[in-house]
Structure 1
Amino acid sequence: MNRHSSAPPSPAARFTAVPVPDGAAPLIRVAHLTKAYRGRPALADLTLDLPAGRIVGLMGSNGSGKTTLLKILAGLLSEYDGQVRVGEYVPGPQSKALVAFLPDADFLAPELKAEQAIAMFSRLFSDFDADRARELVEFFGLPKDRSLKEMSKGMGEKLRVSLIMARRASVYLLDEPISGVDPAARDVILSGVLQGFDPEALMVISTHLIADVEPIVDSVVFLKDGRLLLAGDADDLREAHGMSLDALFRKEYR
């Protein structure tokens, strides 16, 4: 049974995780979000707002609730308590048209080659830009004559990033896009993510590899045991605590 309310979150009840420009509505709004699996909480009374035009680092250790939050925002999990909006919509069919979601698991058939994957996404998504996807495939130097099962893990992740970032979405949700690949590949993947990124869109990057994403994020949200531990503008947090986000993460999660 879906227990979320159709009423919008009360402004007085929301915690603004990152600065929202005056007069602008948050693109993502979450109020008192709670989600449990078999009685064990994955998210607990989570409240935050995320505006357009930001790259947000969703940071936390494994099991902190990052993937659960992204799946709810992507419309893949519907049974929860609390209130969630993506744009004007409760996560579902209408909000999915606004969201490009990169899960932390493989979602392509292993026999697909790059051009075949591009053709498939062209059929599935009306906002998919095939030329943009081909540009990213070229940027990553991916082989066109190999299937996914013949590619390395890093190559496969680059192809998946190429497909997701070629959608003309309002919200990009990337779940651990650099996990499990070597440091050199991480840098290249993050560079590809930024290639042609719409400055008016919102990107949320889930990661526990803080040092790798710190140079590109505008804002951060730290989750711990399903709860909001810390959130705000990246520069403000560095100045307030006198340390890098990576050092702050290590301090808070040790």
Structure 2
Amino acid sequence: MIEFKGVTKKFGSTIAVDNVTMTFPKGKIIGLLGPNGSGKSTTLKMIASLNKPDQGEITIDGKSPSKETRETLAYLPEIDYLYPWMTIEGAGKFMKSFYDDWNEEKFQSLMKFLNLEPQMIIKKISKGMRAKAKLLLVFSRNAKLVLLDEPLSGIDIFTRDQIIDTIIQDYCEGEQTIILSTHEIHEVESLLDYVVFMHQGTILRQGEAEDLRSEENKSLVELMKEVYRNENI
């Protein structure tokens, strides 16, 4: 379980996360939802211990984010971080050298599932292919916590379908926690067990996806529109 207690993160005069207290339940697929600039990426980076809060406390199963916790989670940033000269196979070997939870069998299976070839060179493949390569490297680990920052951003509809299918295929219900940051909720609504709506660094609403749908008699897409309409977004 991941807990935020009074967490604030600033960048200069900009408040990215503003006195947030919330809990991410364990063993679920969680949607961290909101428009660009709402604090989603900063939240994931703090969980991954890439940024530290200026105030408040974050714990992952009772431990503060650190190098130790970072080694047990898999993080997919929105930016394109792959070395352009590497092949898909080379990128896999590179990641394997860093993480003890690397699963070579899963790597080979997912590579075929995503229609990627071992000798493809990163700089020579399309944006959609690079997005799938990033996903391949994340899900080839047996990580208990997976952080996905805007995995569908700027990707064509066919690649999006493959990415969503990969998330479904790999997910171990009850054993693995996936936090998926996105502003494109209509693509992932069916995946989500729990949702957190963010705006300007604060939490507008959160809860079990099915409970929210039942209470409001609305889809998450409709609920999201209502939540942000009330904030005049």
Q: TM-score if structure 2 supplies the norm length?
A: 0.95
Q: Which of 130, 134, 146 in structure 1 is aligned with 2:104?
A: 130
Distance 1:56 1:79 in 2: 21
In 2, Cα distance between the equivalents of 1:130 and 1:110? 22
* One-letter amino acid of the counterpart of residue 249, structure 1: M
Match of 1:231 in 2: 206
| SS at 1:124 equivalent | coil
Greater displacement, 61-70 / 38-47: 38-47
Unaligned stretches of 5+ residues in structure 2: none
Q: Distance in 2 between matches of 1:53 and 1:100?
A: 15
Describe how 1:80-229 pairs up with structure 2 within 5 A. 80-199=54-173, 200-229=175-204
> Percent of pairs identical after alignment?
35
Determine if the alignment matches structure 1 residue 61 to structure 2 residue 35: yes
Q: Secondary structure at the match of 1:191?
A: helix
Over aligned residues, Cα RMSD in angstroms?
1.1
Letter in 2 for 1:69: T
For residues 30-69 of structure 1, the aligned pairs below 5 Å read 30-69=4-43
Local SS of the residue matching 1:235: helix
Aligned-partner SS, 1:157 = helix
TM-score (ref. length: structure 1)? 0.87
Equivalent residue letter for 2:215: A
Provide the C-alpha distance between the structure 2 equivalents of 1:220 and 1:183, rounded to a whole number of angstroms: 23
Using the alignment, how far apart are the partners of 1:107 and 1:211 within structure 2? 26
Deviation at 1:143, TM superposition (A): 2.8
Q: What amino acid is the match of 1:189?
A: I
Give CA-to-partner distance per residue, 1:94-144, whole Å, 9 cap, x none: 211221110001111011111111110110111111221121111011133
Partner of 1:247: 222
* Unaligned runs of at least 5 residues, structure 1: 1-26
For residue 216 of structure 1, what is the amino acid of its counterpart? Answer: L
8 Å contact kept, 1:87–1:95: no
